[in-house]
Structure 1
């Protein structure tokens, strides 16, 4: 990657504050039955085929990606889409994408997390489709559109947001006589009541290091910043230290379930009712409570804002993704025609558990209404997205940083290291990665 592109990336990333300020606002999306003029393939001749790789969960009852693409294909004979699901993790998908793109067999479109996108950009894995994407900008909130822009290059279309929220078993809270906590101190106090009943208020998941970064932002810290064309990495500010101390107290006093978010232990604790709360990203709403289906706790859970960690009641993003046009795509205009249309199918995408980011607010699915006892889940999550901090920035190497933090947090869960050690590990890894890709870092 040429140095001038890296310099441009620095300038653009400086202006990327919150990546998903608001998924609502504005009017409903306009005609979503086709792409704007000028982006369709010319009629006649052989149809263009667009390949699309995603990692959407497709839970029971969801509108499948195949159903969505089949509808597109039936209405657009000149642009045919072949979608396939990647069943591994986001990290594994990134490895596959890089290998396939270098081999010349990569997909035209792929789901890419916002935290991954700057790294993909500096490694040359995504295409600049600013011109082809321009007709679709009007359909998406400004903050979400910026999520797919690096170095002034629009790399695709945003798909969903990941605001941090608090999931809780409302029936258990009522039985125990506790309210939804509004501060970390109230959270710890409530966790003691829950623990006295043999249950857990939250789970400490070492594999979800990104939660520490998100809550640090909600506490008022900014891990990445740029000044005088240099990156500044500050992962151990007062807000971050307060988040580390919060989790340290929960661990020290045995007030949290020690379990990976994706483990059988986590699912079993939900099903058995021993886990009655969880601070996590809003996208968990799409499938977390599958483990509770059929149990006595089905329909008891609700979603509320996270406690105020110090920045005035704001939340922060953990995850969220868009659909990027990958390097080597031979038909970027046609790829963007489908891409722009796909991400306006908000009701379909919401059945996947996504917090969609076009101007149109999706309806809550029957499945979510059942799992959350009639709560209008999508309305709550859209409101949470509107409360995202405006002082958050992704940087190249964030996924490597999260990976490096995980074993430190795993040691912390066992009592072998303090949670705060993950903050210094985060900085060391982030600085090393920025330097690896040729970006200047301030001392």
Structure 2
């Protein structure tokens, strides 16, 4: 176990206390001998896209089954929303018929564990821990428990139009000061090198705080500790407030028409975004003069060095009641190290290694080896930033962020909303919060 992973696990140790509130005990799994009467049967529920040009999950699983006759896996695709899948898993666990393995979002892991929906497979997980990004691996931990392996990551990176940057004489920013300077120069020319996106505030700004060195959730003898207004968050707030006050960033919803329009008309020439956006961000530029002009760089230094934060991502967890956890984790480790197959699904793979960049990405990003760049970002994920139960309730940050553009709220107010909401949510869940 790496030193940084030990820190990440310790940061969530209060959950062990919290579990007793629910009357649940964390169960470490023992050996898995299988059956003398036939192969071990493992069921796996996922929501990977399985789209055109991708390696189908069924094909990946079939290869495993051919090579491992003693452990046979049946994969099922869930076609509903991620939140609906979580509800299904909770219902199935209570009914005693849940899949043995299931895809779960990192932000869902702590609350699912506290509710008794996930197994602790720490002993099995340790066998392949070093094969994954430390930051991604920490997202599958709750206290000393490990519930599975990470599959994909969403580290923040910097997208930029290299042609426009060259035309304006802008350096690719490596620090916040440089990004601020670029913003001023670009704005004077009617361009924006960033967009402030209030509808993404929860994951986007928390990831930036992580990149600035903050860890929002920790533990003490009194229970969970919450600090969403630390020095890192203050750095992030000051940076964006300055750009907004000086009209040097495009303030618009990420998933609204204005963002795409600004991309298409060339007024938006840079974007701090999640790595998984590389798969579709530039689709609207196909066949236009801007096709092939964009590139990806590492996130500028927010003050903590070569560090980035998590904006999305998921892992494959062992569900409570799985009869063969050891066999399940053997398949889990193998599955999540099939980097080329998983990358074909549009994932930024959490396992170490660099998958092959697709022809589409090579075309859209001017021949850049995009997935090699994203693999670096994945390895730079903060290993000390973990989520707490009820993290999804912090979507109230988005509501506060919606008022930033017109001045009715400030960026700092967003982090204050995160603080009050996180504390209230943990208390509502019956979890101890240390003052």
* Structure 1 and Structure 2 fold alike (TM over 0.5): yes
* Distance apart, 1:170 and its partner CA: 0.8
Name the residue aligned to 1:108.
100
Confirm or deny: 8 A CA contact 1:268 1:291 kept in the other structure: no
Distance 1:413 1:59, change over 3 A: farther
Q: State which of 291, 299, 306 in structure 1 corresponds to 2:284.
A: 291
Q: State which of 272, 278, 281 in structure 2 corresponds to 1:279.
A: 272
Distance 1:237 1:64, change over 3 A: same
| CA distance in 1: counterparts of 2:53 and 2:285, whole angstroms | 15
Residues 1:189 and 2:181 aligned together: yes
More displaced stretch, 214-223 vs 111-120: 214-223
Q: State which of 297, 308, 315 in structure 2 corresponds to 1:322.
A: 315
Residues 1:161 and 2:153 aligned together: yes
Residues 1:308 and 2:301 aligned together: yes
Aligned positions of 1:42-441 closer than 5 A: 42=35, 45=38, 48=41, 50-54=43-47, 56-58=48-50, 60-76=52-68, 79-88=72-81, 90-104=82-96, 106-137=98-129, 139-208=131-200, 209-401=202-394, 403-441=395-433
More displaced stretch, 316-325 vs 387-396: 387-396
More displaced stretch, 194-203 vs 318-327: 194-203
| CA distance in 1: counterparts of 2:355 and 2:46, whole angstroms | 23
| CA distance in 1: counterparts of 2:291 and 2:36, whole angstroms | 51
| CA distance in 2: counterparts of 1:168 and 1:59, whole angstroms | 27
* Distance apart, 1:134 and its partner CA: 5.0
| CA distance in 2: counterparts of 1:294 and 1:263, whole angstroms | 22
| CA distance in 1: counterparts of 2:307 and 2:181, whole angstroms | 21
Confirm or deny: 8 A CA contact 1:157 1:339 kept in the other structure: yes
| CA distance in 1: counterparts of 2:185 and 2:275, whole angstroms | 25
Deviations 1:175-214 (A, max 9, x none): 2221112332332332233334443322222222222112
More displaced stretch, 41-50 vs 251-260: 41-50
Distance 1:214 1:142, change over 3 A: closer
> Unmatched 5+ residue regions in structure 2?
1-5, 14-30
Q: State which of 2, 7, 14 in structure 1 corresponds to 2:10.
A: 14
More displaced stretch, 74-83 vs 373-382: 74-83
Is the partner of 1:50 in helix, strand or coil?
Answer: strand
Report the TM-score when normalising by structure 1.
0.82
| CA distance in 2: counterparts of 1:109 and 1:293, whole angstroms | 38
Confirm or deny: 8 A CA contact 1:16 1:146 kept in the other structure: no
Is the partner of 1:111 in helix, strand or coil?
Answer: strand
Deviations 1:106-137 (A, max 9, x none): 43322222222111111112122335545444
Distance 1:178 1:360, change over 3 A: closer
> Unmatched 5+ residue regions in structure 1?
1-9, 18-37
Distance 1:13 1:111, change over 3 A: same
| CA distance in 2: counterparts of 1:80 and 1:390, whole angstroms | 31
Confirm or deny: 8 A CA contact 1:207 1:261 kept in the other structure: yes
* Distance apart, 1:315 and its partner CA: 2.2
Distance 1:223 1:325, change over 3 A: same
More displaced stretch, 42-51 vs 250-259: 42-51
Is the partner of 1:225 in helix, strand or coil?
Answer: strand
* Distance apart, 1:253 and its partner CA: 3.1
Confirm or deny: 8 A CA contact 2:176 2:301 kept in the other structure: yes
* Distance apart, 1:150 and its partner CA: 1.8
Confirm or deny: 8 A CA contact 1:284 1:353 kept in the other structure: no
* Distance apart, 1:96 and its partner CA: 4.0
